[in-house]
Structure 1
Amino acid sequence: MKRKMDRKDRKQPIFHFLKKMQSLHLFLYPVIGVILFIVLYSNVEPDTFDAKLFSVSDQTIYAPVTVVDKEMTEKRREEAAESVEDQYVLKKEYADNSVDLVESLFDAIMEASSNAEMSSKEKLDRLKSSLGDMYDKYPESVYTSLLSANEGQLTLAKDAVVTAVNETMSEPIPAEKLEEARNKVKERLQNVNLPDKIRSAAEEIGRSAIISNYVFDPKSTDEKREEAKEKVQEVQIKQGQIIVEEGQLIDREVYRKLELLGLLDNKYTFQPIIGLFILVLLVMIYLAYFFEKEKNSFFTSKNQSLLLFTIILAITLTVMKIISLFQKMDYSHIGFIVPVLMGVMLTKLLINDRLAFVTSIIYAFCGSLIFNDGVTGTFNFTIGLYYLCGCIAAILFLGEHNVRSKILQAGLFVSAVNIVVITAILFIQNGIYSNLEIGSYFLMAIVSGVISSVLTIGLMPFFESGFGILSTMKLIELSNPNHPLLRKILTEAPGTYHHSVMVANLAEAACEAIGANGLLARVGSYYHDIGKTKRPRYFIENQMNMENPHDKLSPQLSKNIIIAHAEEGAEMLRKHKMPKEFIDIALQHHGTSLLKFFYHKAQENSDQPILESEFRYPGPKPQTREIAVICIADSVEAAVRSMKNPMPEKIEKLVRSIIKDKLQDGQFDECDITFKELETVAKILCETLKGIFHSRIEYPEFHEKKVKKT
């Protein structure tokens, strides 16, 4: 037995050891991050140019990003502020002050001249004492002339000067127009009926009372200038803007812009690298969440599925990166030819649909970065959209049709979708393209879809054999009745073939109800009794119109023949290099159950006690939910088929009895099936069996009448 197990282990897939490495997935997530970072690093690394001041540029340089030119913005704002004129304000209180000054002066003169007994000199001295420092503001002749006037003349002169000053200063008087305003006062006093000497003195007082009342307002000026600054928009160097054309002199302004954009070789920035690291980290987090939460029926370990995904991702990105090198040869749209669908279809067919959708987004993101030559920005959104639409189209087209013939059809379908997407992009861009350019785009779209299909078909066998993957496509192919082993069962043991088909129907329905792999249960059931083809007539379903050979054999010999079909079936499956899951089903579908009929028969024929262990299958017990369900369906189908009148109540009682016996016998101790799932299995099996063994109408017998010949 040990020799057989050793041979069995040698035939396991080369990645079988991964199941034992429980923490491998913790290592693979960083590996995925490193792969993404290495592949994308050169595409986000800032471009630098060896540009010398006052040299001639040997190429046209475009702005890779949009930046704010703070220096130019500040310069324009200062220019706007300087263009704002000084702000002035009319000080109306200045007119009141001047009028008060004139009135006070005339009041003092009138008071000094009111005493007739005083001499002119005494009056002048009194006026000087009354006015104080203000006395020196006017020539002494002004005071002398006014002190010689009578009260009426002084009153008239006062009123005339006050009126002239008030009218003149009611209007704005800037400093540069001060002399003009004073002349207006003189003109207004020309018509006053006063002696020339007194009028001249009044004019002198009026002129000196006029001051500039339209003064500079610093607060208002500052507000206007700040407002002018705010109206100036930021000066930006737009993404894609030409900084310097080929053959143009790199002057100080051009050099400053290159320096501002970080395009000079002495100005290296780590910001793009940090940004790429953050994006890669997000992708790793999304994948970690997906693989830790997702249940994948194709694998017993997430290590295998994650390693497979990592390899597919690495292959696809490597192909993408190699093709991107042709961008340097002015093939700016070479990204259209990348067979990116290969990675998505392999992911869908070998893992599942949900991960394929996630992978589509990853490839679109990577493609938009890898093929960013010839575009003004960091991301080539055209390629990203192209990849995303094509990948989603492939996933939706394949749907549940996981057969190899559909892969090529999917490639052709996606080629048509690629052409539609490219056409839409060209129309949206509203560019002018030659027929040769459009034709080359369409040709690359077709080649991309076809090559993706060819590579997918070519790589799938390597992944399936290397990882021991039993994919949906593989299961569908193995369910073909023309398979040599199925034809062997059909021709050599037709009863067993019919039994296997019935078990397959029951097991598939039950597995799908509990969330297990129904397709695996169905196809595995087709092969579970392949060992019976060694001695088909020793199994009751193949004993049609013949005596039972066990009637002439001892119970021990009969037991050996019956039990041997499990190991012999597993050996036949190994010989034909069938999937390990099928071998496990053949070995485990009876578990360690007891051959009750031959055990009791042996007890009846022997005087010595018979050990129960001698009449049990060697096992092992079912290790998975699918095998546990097949184990139940196998026993239920055989039992119901032997019933003479399979009524629904009897079927349900029998099904629950079989499940109860196997549960009590410990046949499900080594698999993760739950009591709730066993209850669901019982209900589904009863419903399916009731549909198979439904009541039929009894047709009356038709007796052929003899016709008398004439």
Structure 2
Amino acid sequence: MKEKEKRFKPHLLLKQLNQYRFLHIFLYVTLGFVLFAALYSNVKPETLDVELFAVSEQTIYAPTTVEDKVETEIKQQEAYNSVEDQYTLKRDISEKQVDLVSSIFDAMLEVIRETENVSLPEEDSKEEGKTITPEEKVTRLKEKLTPAINDKISKDVYLPLVSTTSEELTLAKDSVVTAVNNVMSKEIPIIQLSVAKDQVEEELEYSSLRSDILRASTELGRFAIVPNYVFNLEETELKRQQAIDGVKEVQLKQGQIIVEEDELINREVYRKLGLVGLLDNQQSFKPFIGLGLLIVLIVIGVVYYFEQQEQNDRKRNNVLLLYCLIFSITLLLMKIVSLFQRIDYTHIGYIVPVAMGAMLIKLLISERLAILTSMILAVCGSIIFNEGVTGSFNFALGIYFLFGCLAGLLFLGEHNLRSKILQAGLFVAFMNVLVITAIMLIRNGTYSNLEIGSYFVMACVSGLVSSVLTIGFMPFFETGFGILSTMKLIELSNPNHPLLRKILTETPGTYHHSVMVANLSESACEAIGANGLLARVGAYYHDIGKTKRPQYFIENQMNIENPHNKLSAQLSKNIIISHATDGADMLRKHKMPIEFVDIAEQHHGTSLLKYFFHKAKQTNDSIYEEEFRYPGPKPQTKEIAIISIADSVEAAVRSMSNPTPDKIEKLVRSIISERLQDHQLNECDITLKELDTIAMSFCETLKGIFHSRIEYPELTKKQKVKQA
């Protein structure tokens, strides 16, 4: 390695770091730690140093919505107690009591009929006309009834009834059964039992029964009346449970005033402060767990983007490190500006130049990653600038950041011109003003002219500073990381560049050849999804080494004899082969991007100089092919492989006397087939399908260049004269 290449260069240091296999994993973890460190203080629950029965020095609001379980349980208990006992009318009880009274009278009638039969003289009886006393009838009656009934009805009730006739007892039965049925058909709760018994007595008063039988019948009727409107436990519990379920949980709403300034902090207020986690002696880990999950999701999104990219580890690590730096710088700017929130500048977040991060990532890496980062920065910003809001997220500022970033990305467009960065900053400022206006109108608040003016000034400053910082950081990142941005490529494609002007003035044939190769390479790269702009600009410089000895290359030999006719094949071979290494040295000397150096060094790979090999073979049979091959290395990327094929295709087609579409296609495919057979494409990740697409792209481009032309009459006449 030459001495000048041993000087310290940042991108060389990065190249050494990229050799570590697990560097990308370390960068992902580092990105997660950076996010956690930046957002930790903003999700940490706020605590207040307050004492019970002290006077509050400030108005305290609930930082989040939580359920007040104590108040909820009190409300539920009140609802439970408010439900009255549920009762149900049991009609089967009424029917049972009517049947009971009827059965008692039936038993009496049975006893009377039996005693009437016994009192008749029997033919074979030795005693004539034996009479059964009322007491004996009562005894027989009790034998027919249950002990429970006998215990509740006294003997005095039965005596008048068993002493009467069957007809009169039947009349008493009908009266009592009717009265009991009428009373029991209504609801009789236990507290109204005595009233119901009195109603039976009132109904029997109007009957035609004798007084003694009436009294006995009344006692039986009162005995038969029982409560039929009974307590229903299941229905009561169901109603009470429905009442509990109907109670909405009592919540301390986010932003609700817990205690106002100069108010006493009583036990209830102190309990609520502890409930929302504002006391010193209470610490919740839920916010940190939630933050950790959010960071994991963000890192997963970044990992998914980088790991799905088809690129080698070295390039991936380089781009990932660049991304982490840009993201960390943007996050650091947010964090620094957020410190002003503590001195009552709660809306200072509108001045953060967050669009800078998104625009840098678009210009230096890719637009897709820039869009993803815009969303991530919007989420992070809404957390960092949550001072002065009742929740953990400042959604208004998050929307403001998102629209600002997207505005910058959309305005830059596809070409990423450096001159458009300042214009993009102006567009971001305009969009910021519109978003702030929309937010203020949606909130429907009252704002002073000073507040509105300060918001608009911060919005404009944010956009302009974003563009200024983007322009300022671009050279550092491009130089430090040795990356080749779209804007850098466009600048290097300027014909006024010293090296391009050198090619144009010293080797005009080579310059024309390079332009043709650039056109072929760009269209082919875009057809397979490779970097077309890199291929175009790299093709401009791929033959820069020919400027060292321009007359030894046929495209520059105008009106002069070919110098190779006077040289040996060995010497001609050395001159031709040296243009690749000379070009790489010249590009390194002018500190051109490493991609251009690789293109100049690899665009011939290890291919064979057939013409000079066969020329040497004619004089010396002991010559080996390896002596007439380029030193390489072989093409390492798709872009270099395409430039390598385009270089040969353009030279071959240009040498054809009468190119036709069929001839061109046959030639293109034969060159590609030859490169494959010579194993020149083995070290790049190009596929056969892509090679077929490249061939079709070359043919389409070449058909447009070498199309048939109209033969003018004047020209034809001159040609005939010349031929004559």
CA distance in 1, matches of 2:567, 2:107: 159
Asked if 1:423 corresponds to 2:437, the answer is: yes
Task: Give CA deviations for 1:68-122 in whole Å, capped at 9, x if unaligned.
Answer: 33332222222112111112223334444444554455566664696688889x4
1:338 to 2:371 alignment: no
Contact 1:112 1:124 in 2 (8 A): no
Provide closer, same or farther for how the CA distance between residues 189 and 407 of structure 1 changes in structure 2, counting only shifts above 3 A: same
Q: Pick from 275, 282, 300 the counterpart of residue 290 of structure 2.
A: 275
Aligned length: 700
Question: 2:498 maps to what in 1?
Answer: 484
CA contact (8 A) 2:306 2:316 kept: yes
Deviation at 1:147, TM superposition (A): 6.3
* Residue of structure 2 equivalent to 1:224: 239
| Structure 1 contact 112–127 (Cα < 8 Å) conserved | no
The answer to whether the aligner puts 1:467 opposite 2:481 as a matched pair is yes
Match of 1:239 among 254, 259, 265: 254
Q: Deviations over 1:45-90 (max 9, x none)?
A: 2222233332222233333333333332222222112111112223
The residue type equivalent to 1:648 in the other structure is P
Amino acid at match of 2:633: P
Matched residue type, 1:418: N
Residue 707 of structure 1 is matched in structure 2 by: none
Identity %: 62
Partner of 1:3: 2
Alignment of 1:646-665 (within 5 A): 646-665=659-678
Cα pair distance change 1:457/1:481, threshold 3 Å: same
Contact 1:640 1:646 in 2 (8 A): yes
CA distance in 2: counterparts of 1:603 and 1:124, whole angstroms? 157
Alpha-carbon separation, structure 1, partners of 2:631 and 2:102: 134
1:625 counterpart = 2:641: no
Q: CA deviation at 1:37?
A: 1.5
Q: 2:302 aligns with which of 272, 287, 297?
A: 287
Q: Secondary structure at the match of 1:243?
A: strand
Q: Which residue of 2 aligns with 1:395?
A: 409
Q: 3-state DSSP class of the match of 2:88?
A: strand
Looking at structure 1, the residues matched to 569 and 529 of structure 2 have their Cα atoms a distance apart, in angstroms, of 40
Aligned-partner Cα distance in 2 for 1:108–1:659: 123
- Cα deviation, 1:360-382, whole Å, max 9, x if unaligned, reads 22112212222222222222222
Q: Which residue of 2 aligns with 1:127?
A: 138
Matched, 1:643 2:685: no
RMSD: 3.3
The one-letter code matched in structure 1 to 2:461 is V
TM-score (norm 1): 0.89
Asked if the contact 1:14–1:466 (Cα under 8 Å) also holds between the matched residues in 2, the reply is: no
Question: 1:640 aligns to what SS in structure 2?
Answer: helix
Q: Does the 8 A contact of 2:108 with 2:141 survive in 1?
A: no
Counterpart CA distance in 2 for 1:679 and 1:206 is 112
Structure-2 separation of matches of 1:119 and 1:252: 89
> Any conservation in 2 of the 1:593–1:617 contact (CA below 8 Å)?
yes
Q: Which amino acid aligns with 1:684?
A: S
Q: How does 1:546-625 map to 2 (within 5 A)?
A: 546-550=560-564, 558-598=572-612, 616-625=629-638
Shift in CA distance, 11/594, structure 1 to aligned 2, threshold 3 Å: farther
Contact 1:403 1:477 in 2 (8 A): no
- TM-fit CA distance, 1:411: 1.8
How much does 1:292 deviate? 1.3
State the partner residue of 1:685. 698
- Range with greater deviation from structure 2 (544-553 or 491-500): 544-553
- Counterpart of 2:714 in structure 1 is 701
Alpha-carbon contact 1:511-1:521 (below 8 Å) kept: yes
Return closer, same or farther for 1:10/1:28 CA change in 2, 3 Å cut-off.
closer
Match of 1:174 in 2: 189
> Which of the numbers 249, 256, 259 marks the counterpart of 2:271?
256
Is 1:112–1:123's contact at 8 Å kept on the other side of the alignment?
Answer: no
- Cα distance in 1 between the residues matched to 2:151 and 2:314: 114
Mapping of residues 178-197 of structure 1, within 5 Å: 178-197=193-212
Is 2:75 the counterpart of 1:76?
yes
Query: Could you tell me how far apart the structure 1 residues matched to 2:183 and 2:635 are?
Result: 116
| Whole-angstrom CA distance in 2 between matches of 1:86 and 1:295 | 75
Residue 38 of structure 1 is matched in structure 2 by 37
Deviates more, 1:26-35 or 1:202-211: 202-211
> Matched residues in 1 for 2:107 and 2:547: separation?
146
Describe the shift of the 1:637–1:347 C-alpha distance in structure 2 as closer, same or farther (beyond 3 A).
same
Whether contact under 8 Å (2:112, 2:165) holds in the other structure is: no
The CA distance in 2 between the partners of 1:539 and 1:486, in whole Å, is: 18
Distance 1:136 1:628 in 2: 118
Residues in 2 aligned to 1:10 and 1:389: alpha-carbon distance in whole angstroms: 38
| Separation in 2, partners of 1:188, 1:570 | 129
Q: What residue in structure 2 maps to residue 708 of structure 1?
A: none
Q: What secondary structure sits across from 1:20 in the alignment?
A: coil
Name the CA distance, whole Å, in 2 between partners of 1:206 and 1:237: 62
- So what's the TM-score if we normalise by structure 2? 0.87
More displaced 10-residue stretch of structure 1: 269-278 or 203-212: 203-212
Letter in 1 for 2:450: L
Q: Which runs of 5+ in 1 are unaligned?
A: 705-710
Distance apart, 1:200 and its partner CA: 4.1
Matched with 2:229 is 214
Give the direction of change, closer, same or farther, for the CA distance of 1:542–1:9 in structure 2 (3 Å limit): farther
Do the aligned partners of 2:138 and 2:159 also contact (CA within 8 Å) in 1? no
Name the stretch that deviates more: 58-67 or 653-662: 653-662
Amino acid at match of 1:624: T
* Contact 1:57/1:250 (8 A) holds in 2: yes
* 1:445 equivalent among 442, 450, 459: 459
Any conservation in 2 of the 1:408–1:450 contact (CA below 8 Å)?
yes
Q: Is the 8 A contact 1:14 1:467 kept in 2?
A: no
Structure 2 residues without counterparts, runs of 5 or longer = 120-128, 719-724
Distance, in Å, in 2 between the alignment partners of 1:594 and 1:8 is 35
